Amino acid sequence: MLVNTRQMLANARKNQYAIPQPNVWDVNSIRAALKASKEVQSPVIIGLAQAHLQYIGIEEVAMLANYYGNKFNVQYALHLDHGNDYHTIIKAIKFGFSSVMIDASTLPYEENVYLVKEIVKVAHACDVTVEAELGHVGSENSNSEINGSSQSVLTEPDEAEDFVKQTNVDSLAIAIGTVHGKYRGKPNIDIDRLEKIAKKVSIPLVLHGGSGTGENSLKKCIKLGISKINICTDLMVAATEGIKESLKTTDNFGDINLVAEAAIKECLTKYYKMFNCLNRI
């Protein structure tokens, strides 16, 4: 059943577990995510990053996710991840996405607030939930003292409180030291900062860059209010490693894709267990 993330994430925060948001990029990754959800009997948030529209379209993901979501009879949200322009976000809503992220985190604070408020007005009118980002989670492709990312700007607790009040956003992605992609060094997660934010912000908190962050750190984050964790890199790595191994015994493209799908499902299932997200439907 397709739902938005409002009650899904509220339940997760209240009961101290996190729902994974696997990013998808083709039919096999979509099917793997929904199969994992079925296996563990817990919700899933199917995430399509705007950057991945080069691999698959909004319409395609909507049709495939709805088909397999209904076939496997699971509770799922369809989420546009890191939407960074009005047209793409509205298109996602038009084609049935139940949740969207407006990522204006690299803009000045007041511009971020303004753009999020505009998206919230439209999305809420359509019963679509909205995620925004305050602070900025950078990537592994740059250099700095913050986990290899000069693009990272950590979230300020007082700003987070004001931001939520002004925008009426449904969930907030925060920057506490994670990165998108692979870490260059050892992750250094600012747990104290998270604890301060969680005391000031009552809505569900989101952690981007879950891949490679480590089980202990992620479990601490979940206890302190992180209710949704995005996973992409580890899923892609699992698929790639599965393909490499299968190429030793077959050159059948169809079989290779199924191996990749199974590897994605296995990787995601491990995260469900790590996030204390089993039998949550």
Alpha helices in the chain (DSSP H): 6-15, 27-40, 58-72, 86-94, 109-125, 157-167, 191-200, 215-223, 233-246, 253-274
Helices then strands, counting H and E runs in the chain, come out as: 10, 8
Q: Is residue 103 among the annotated active site residues? A: no
Annotated active-site residue in 26, 81, 103, 234: 81
Contacts 24+ apart (CB under 8 A), 188-195: 188/146, 188/147, 189/213, 189/217, 189/220, 189/221, 190/154, 191/217, 191/220, 191/221, 191/224, 193/154, 193/155, 193/157, 194/221, 194/224, 194/225, 194/226, 195/224
CB 163 within 8 A of CB 113: yes
- By annotation, the residues acting in catalysis are 81
